[in-house]
Structure 1
Amino acid sequence: MTIASVLALVMTAGAVAAPAPVPISWTSCGNSAECATLQLPVDWSDPGGEKFGFRVARHQAKPELRVGTLVFGPGGPGDSGVGVITDPKRFDRFSQDLIDRFDIVSYDPRGVGQSSPMPCPAPASPVITSAADFDLRIQQNQAAWATCREDYGPLWEHADSLSTVRDIDALRSALGERQLTFHGSSYGTLVGELYAETYPSRTRAVVLESSVDHSQRTAGFLRTQAWALQDSFDAFAAWCDATESCALHGKDVHAEWAALLDAAGPDELWDLTATAHRSMYAPDYAGFAAAIATGDIEKQSAPQPTTAVFCNDWALPVRDYASYQRLITSNATRDLRYSAGVLAIGTCLGWPQPVTNPQHRLDVHTRTPLLLINARHDPASGYNWARSVAAQLGRHGVLLTYDGAGHGSYNRSTCVKAAVDAYLLNLTVPRRGTVC
């Protein structure tokens, strides 16, 4: 078979026809919202095969002001989009203008929340300290996955984000929308990126808030995650230096933190890192500084991804313990021994290769550029990821920078919020290089 014929087959396979509309039967489910469950294929290459329940929720616009539907992509992976719509405290992430003018719809991704959830045990600590532990971790992971595969069936290996993209396109069709208007947050940005790549003509507008860079391989993933966490810690230290109310003001923040790490036992090092990571999310600089000053740091868990989703999306193989040790050591941060990348490696160690939705550089060609919004100091989806995704998108993407800190930026700045709303409502794209 010639290269040309192979490419023709690939292009034909990629040109997937729009799914037939699926009837939606809405019922009231709280917060003036309606919920429904769509029966969709577990495996989109076999649309007549086994189905799963895809749970969705919507909050309707004011009829006289309605301009269309906005689909919100939740993060995690493992966050519930249905909960964003039905919980008033989470629904306030949208501006009143968007609430008035869009039907706002969200979903629980396959394998998450109320969409055939697939909880599967993960290791208590992601850090591996010996060759024996490395081999044991692979055995434990694979034993857990075999049990989960038996419990959850074929959805286990079809929980990837590219399959969720097909689910979203079925939802778009069922809602009667010719094109998709989408706002993805954190891990939800991966769905937005892949949707725009897969269905450019069906894409109206896509916001990527705290972008995921799905081009990174094992070493790059660890390196970029470590950079993001160190950058956020540096921003915290600079805030303490400049803020008299900081409990560590006038002290060497880096030295104070290092003293805590030096006094910690091996099992406590990850807990301290996870706590620092969580403290940078909001960010809670004042609380974190006070905890360091007193040495009384309340243990917080790091965000735990849903295994079936994350490990189907990321090929992060590590050959042996020597390779693992080199990767962890060479990608350690100056102030924090580990980043969230270490959790990702440990969670998926031993996962069958190739994965369902492997990493690649984006190839997006939409009429309206995608809008990326990112804090300058984000501990999880770092500014380095946003810049990388923007570079991959080229003229089909524009990065709007929030000159602040934290994971997520839409609700941290009136400037960012106004720009996003103008983009979603009117397709007004900010100037390149805009900083809020």
Structure 2
Amino acid sequence: MRPKYSLLAAVLVAVVALLPATTAASADTRDEASGDAGKGRISWAPCEEEPAAECGTLAVPIDWDRPGGPTVDLALARRKATDPAARIGSLVINPGGPGGSGVEFAYNAPGFFTEEIQRRFDLVGFDPRGVARSHPVICSASVYNQMPYAIMKSQADFDRWTAYSKRLRQDCRARTGPLYDHVDSVDVARDMDAIRAALGEEKLTYYGVSYGTLIGQMYAELFPHRVRALALDSNMDHSLGVKAFLDTEAAAVEDSFDEFAGWCDQEPNCALHGQDVRVVWERLLAKAREGELYYPGVPDRPMTEVQVLWQGVLGTEGPAWQLLSEMLRYLDGGPPSSWLPPLPGRQPVEGDVAQLPTAVLCEDYNLRVRNYKEYAALLRSNARLAPDMRLNPMPIEDLPVCLGHPTSNPQHRLRYTGSAPLLLGTSIHDPSTPYAWTTEVARQLGPKARLLTYEGWGHRIYGKEECATVPIDDYLISLTVPPRGFRCPVGGGAGPALRQRPEAWPTDGLPWAAPSVPGPSAPKTSG
């Protein structure tokens, strides 16, 4: 595989000058001084969907600035420690998204976490406010299904999107109720402290991946002295302005595509081995632009260019290079793939309502642009950094939804005043949360961060190699941090319970997707 470190490093250097000025994330009014998170209780009972786990709810204020006001019930699931005599406490877990279900994460935790973590901790997952079982943000399907094509090509498109995003926001706000204005990651972090208190834990032990790292970062900022251990895997960078955000995402997905193409050049088992992968890719994109490319099993509408680009993201998240090569060959007129995942990207929904977890992103990130000229400049910048991928479809699909949306937790540099070290994990070739994001968060934290770098591929590092997994376990269990500058090489040990470069295809299609938790329905191919 050809190294692409220089491109990502150059992008990181270039965007430092674009970072917004530091703010305190409202820490002056929403911090530990506001009092303990709550006196709520959780009544546990066997889960209907997964009787081996326990489920419960916890009532928290809709508006944390009005703690005596209306409440919302958070859905939780718990798997108790398998060895009560060795139990340390509760490990709160979140799989990201925004929109990923922590309840589902807890259901499937035995296939994700090592036996030692399961032995030592109660694993507690929760659906964040506005998500899944915790009063999700909902919209009228009739309005949602009128969503314009994600990529704008003129000022008329920009005006159409601006009007539509306002109408969608008004509809979702009316459908969802007051909670709609209170789903940012600061509110979720305050909820998590209420969960900590209800679990009877003096301090929080937490594992968050992808967008779940933003929840952990906000918790560290708001409750620095209630941190026992925060393991943050594949980090969001909450300091980036819109251009830096999009540029780093484009560079990261191009880097991952380059790694896939290099693998196909070298690996005889690649379904496109012997062909020029980039030529095949360009041919598929051209057919999509002309409305001439159809996804197998979906004959009623042609694939869009964005849906093709999604293949490049999801196929490199695992990574699932073998499956990606089979799918691209199939789309190019070759034999069927060994497995065909659902058509990626946003789809029309059936029924009366649609869920829109993107509202969480809109409240956490100011992604507004003023006009089509500014938007087109952003796309040109992306295309220079990503000549094959052009752009990363995840933020590009969300940006127009967030046009004109109020941002209650705007970007700022992370400020953590606690003494407990935070463990930050990342892979060098991550298409979804760029390597540069985690290293920048580590830089903001300074000596209070310990960086764990996996010299491999994909989104998430836990469970891929022994040398990437054991340090996280050691940190969560005994608070031992790896040496400074620790790097886990590919092939750096794989115990029998660990998976090396899993060929798992993400099935949720969400931005900054939750990990594909192995389970009876999790498709895999041989690597």
1:421 to 473, 480, 498: 473
SS at match of 2:470: helix
Residue of structure 1 equivalent to 2:397: 343
Work out the CA distance in 1 between the residues paired with 2:399 and 2:484.
35
Q: Is the 8 A contact 1:131 1:321 kept in 2?
A: yes
Contact 1:84 1:91 in 2 (8 A): no
Q: Which residue of 1 aligns with 2:84?
A: 63
Residue of structure 2 equivalent to 1:326:
377
1:275 aligns with 2:311: yes
Between the aligned partners of 2:106 and 2:246, the Cα distance in structure 1 is: 33
Q: Which amino acid aligns with 1:107?
A: F
CA distance in 2, matches of 1:20, 1:149: 27
Alignment RMSD (CA, Å): 2.0
* Aligned match for 1:224, one of 232, 248, 252: 248
Q: Which structure 1 residue ranges, 5 or more long, are not aligned?
A: 1-6
Which residue does 2:220 correspond to in 1? 196
Alpha-carbon distance between aligned partners in 2 of 1:80 and 1:222, rounded to the nearest angstrom: 26
Stretch deviating more after TM superposition (67-76 or 120-129) = 120-129
Q: CA deviation at 1:264?
A: 2.8
Give the deviation of 1:265 after TM superposition: 1.7
CA contact (8 A) 1:66 1:100 kept: yes
Q: CA deviation at 1:124?
A: 5.8
Tell me what 1:301 maps to: 344
The answer on whether the counterparts of 2:37 and 2:191 sit within 8 Å (CA) in structure 1 is no
Matched, 1:243 2:267: yes
CA drift of 1:43 comes to 0.3
Q: Which has the higher contact order (CA 8 A, sep 6+)?
A: 2
TM-score normalized with structure 2 length: 0.77
Change in CA separation of 1:10 and 1:308 when aligned onto 2, cut-off 3 Å? closer
Structure 2 counterpart of 1:286, from 322, 325, 336: 322
Tell me, yes or no, if the aligned pair for 1:226 and 1:341 is still in contact at 8 Å: no
Q: Answer yes or no: is the 8 Å Cα contact 2:94–2:126 preserved in 1.
A: yes
**Counterpart-to-counterpart distance in 1, 2:346 and 2:124:** 24
CA drift of 1:293 comes to 3.3
- 1:75, CA displacement in angstroms? 0.7
1:128 Cα deviation after fit: 1.3
Instruction: Give runs of aligned pairs for residues 78-227 of structure 1, distance below 5 A.
Output: 78-86=99-107, 88=108, 91-120=110-139, 121=144, 123=147, 125-227=149-251
AA aligned opposite 2:160:
L
User: Structure 1 or 2: larger helix share?
Assistant: 1
Assess if the C-alpha contact under 8 Å between 2:90 and 2:122 holds in 1: yes
Alignment-mate amino acid for residue 319 of structure 2: P
- Report % sequence identity: 41
Q: 1:37 maps to which residue? A: 57
One-letter amino acid of the structure 2 residue matched with residue 18 of structure 1: D
Deviations 1:125-168 (A, max 9, x none): 31112211211111111111111111221100101110000000
Q: Find 1:261's aligned residue among 285, 289, 296.
A: 285
Structure 2 residues not aligned, in runs of 5+ = 1-23, 292-303, 348-355, 489-527
Which is worse superposed, 418-427 or 300-309?
300-309
| Aligned partners of 1:22 and 1:174 also within 8 Å | yes
Give the structure-1-normalised TM-score. Answer: 0.93
Given candidates 361, 364, 376, the residue that maps to 1:310 is 361
Shift of 1:384: 1.3
| Residues 46, 263 of structure 1: alpha-carbon distance in 2 compared, 3 angstrom cutoff | same
One-letter code of the match for 1:177? E
Residue 13 of structure 1 and its aligned partner are, at CA, apart by 5.4
Distance 1:245 1:45, change over 3 A: same
Amino acid at match of 1:28: P
Q: Is the 8 A contact 2:248 2:436 kept in 1?
A: yes
Partner of residue 446 from structure 2, selected from 391, 394, 419: 394
SS in 2 for 1:238: helix
Greater than 4 Å deviation, 4+ residue runs: 296-299
Amino acid in the other structure paired with 1:150: A
**In the alignment, residue 422 of structure 2 is paired with which amino acid?**
L
User: Residues 244-287 of structure 1, C-alpha deviation per residue, up to 9 Å, x if partnerless?
Assistant: 22123343322332232233326621111011111111211112
**Once structures 1 and 2 are overlaid, which stretch shifts more, 166-175 or 360-369?**
360-369
Distance in 2, Cα, partners of 1:11 & 1:373 = 29
